[in-house]
Amino acid sequence: MQKLQGIAVSPGVAIGEAMVMDNEGFRIPRRFVARDAVEAELERLDKAFQAASDEIAHNRDAVSRELGSKYGAIFEAHLQMLGDSQLRGELDEMIRNRHYSPEYAVSRALRRYAQVFQKLESRYLAERANDIFDLEKRVLRNLLGRRREGLAQLTSPVLVLAHNLTPSETANLDRQFVRGFVTEVGGLGSHTAIVAEALEIPAVVGTGPFLTDVSGGELVIIDGDEGLVILHPDEETIARYQHEVEEIRTQAAQLKPLRDMVSETADGVAVRLYGNIEFPYEVKHCAERGADGIGLYRTEFLYLSADEEPDEEAHYKAYSEVVRAMGDRPVTIRTFDLGADKVSHLPDPEDERNPFLGLRSIRLALRNLPMFRNQLRAILRASVLGNVQVMFPLISTVLELRHAKMVLSDVMEDLDERGIEFNRDLPIGMMVEVPAAVMMIDHFVNEVDFLSIGTNDLIQYALAVDRANSDVVSLYNASDPAVLKLIAATIEAGNKKGIPVSLCGQMSGNTVYTMLLLGLGLRHFSVTPSAILEIKRVCRSVTIPQCEEVAQRALTMENARDVKSFLRGEVRKHVPELGL
């Protein structure tokens, strides 16, 4: 059994078959074969070996002709490995006696060989592990043929194990079959984490290298609460986690009655609980938990799931589905929060060395007005179908905000001239995600109808920490006193002006921070749908004076560790059933 510690980004426990993703995207479709199918499977393995040998020999001859026999010898070594009688004997034994499928046997045997090379002190010999991985891919390619499955063509439940997942891969996941994520890299707020929360599946990122230690089809456990990944679990561990899965189901059932209860504190102060969504289908999850509306509709995946820019109708169709489903409850649509490096149909940025500080979000929108106007037209058209609000991301200066509002006004004029209906009093809001916005918040409150604090970005910009960098992720902390003071200043300015302030970052969906945020004056929480009922439970268990006392104490502390320990203790004291 092997345990890996990573970063917990989506809660829950998943036990299931591993789907190991590499740059070939192979999936081992089955682990075992029936007794009467053994001979046919051995014959299939023979054919795959022969086809792989023919390919290698062809490559050897072609390279030898072009570059000389010295370079062709690389492929000769591959041929020798493929013809090794010991390897073939192991594979035959696995298939005949243990009834492993040829795919599983090949992956298991060759990866064990690769691990031996990787542990050798000789760097030259350690690098030979790559040759073995290359050989594994070649044989699997011939074994699987047309039966290869990618992330978008799954046919059975899996846990996805990958070095990383691209935005387009995550956007196109088959949510029916993907039951959990693990990635070697990444951090809080990464695309993998966001999609995992949207799918309501356990996810752990930033584990470091481990893919060579596991083969597709093997049993894996993902603990999204503790950030643990367990490879080759023993029977006792499996039984313990199966019991935990049952406990999670029981807790979910206990929370269900809260759905129809009023969202307010124990002393009767109203609290609005909204849902964060990425995809239209998530509106169902929000309705099931009794959400007061949609506090953050991220629109990036309209772009990330397509090879070309989505047209106005694609935007309108997605927005109208959500707005109609919510009825008279508010739906806050955030304009695209993308970096130039993530939009495939735009020219590659020439010098985008740090996308977090580059051409992204509202900056990208104002640089690409046709794309921006396209989205705004769809939002305005959908505004007559319900209670729609528009929100601009990553605003850092007043002039930037006014520029965005001016573009919106121009689009309104265009629709007016074309006789297309829209809400002329559409509420306009902005994300507070950079310290500069907080420092100028007294000016911003005069320009907008509402504010939404995006703590995922606010934390990384305030603390100078790349939230996707595992080397510094320990410094990325919502409990940091500097972050708390930025949040407190924003809430105070909004409340003083009389405009709603919500908090839509991951922090708002964590029950550890609920009392603190209530004590700071927050009355609008926007969280992942799965967190709505837990947050409601905390709200209904505490009074505002209790929360204000917690907030005042937390603001006097000087480090994140003490703050988080204190907050956890207070929630445990007032809401012991959460089990924090």
Say if strands 228-231 and 272-277 run parallel, antiparallel, or are unpaired.
unpaired
> Cβ contacts of residue 270 below 8 Å, gap of 6+?
262, 263, 264, 523
Of 78, 191, 285, 524, catalytic:
191
- Alpha-carbon dihedral sign for residues 59, 65, 66, 70: positive
191 is annotated as an active-site residue: yes
Burial of 424 (0-12, 13-18, 19+ CB in 10 A): exposed
539 is annotated as an active-site residue: no
In order of 21, 23, 217, 459, the CA distances from 487 in angstroms are: 39, 41, 46, 10
- Alpha-carbon dihedral sign for residues 172, 177, 181, 183: negative
Give residue 89's identity as a one-letter amino acid code. Answer: G
Residue 289 region, left (φ>0) first, then alpha (ψ -120 to 50), else beta? alpha
Of 78, 285, 315, 504, catalytic:
504
Q: With contact defined as beta carbons under 8 Å apart, do 198 and 278 qualify?
A: yes
Can you tell me the distance from the alpha carbon of 192 to that of 231, in angstroms, rounded to the nearest whole number? 20
In order of 368, 384, 511, the CA distances from 305 in angstroms are: 19, 27, 32
Can you tell me the distance from the alpha carbon of 319 to that of 331, in angstroms, rounded to the nearest whole number? 9
Residues with active-site annotation: 191, 504
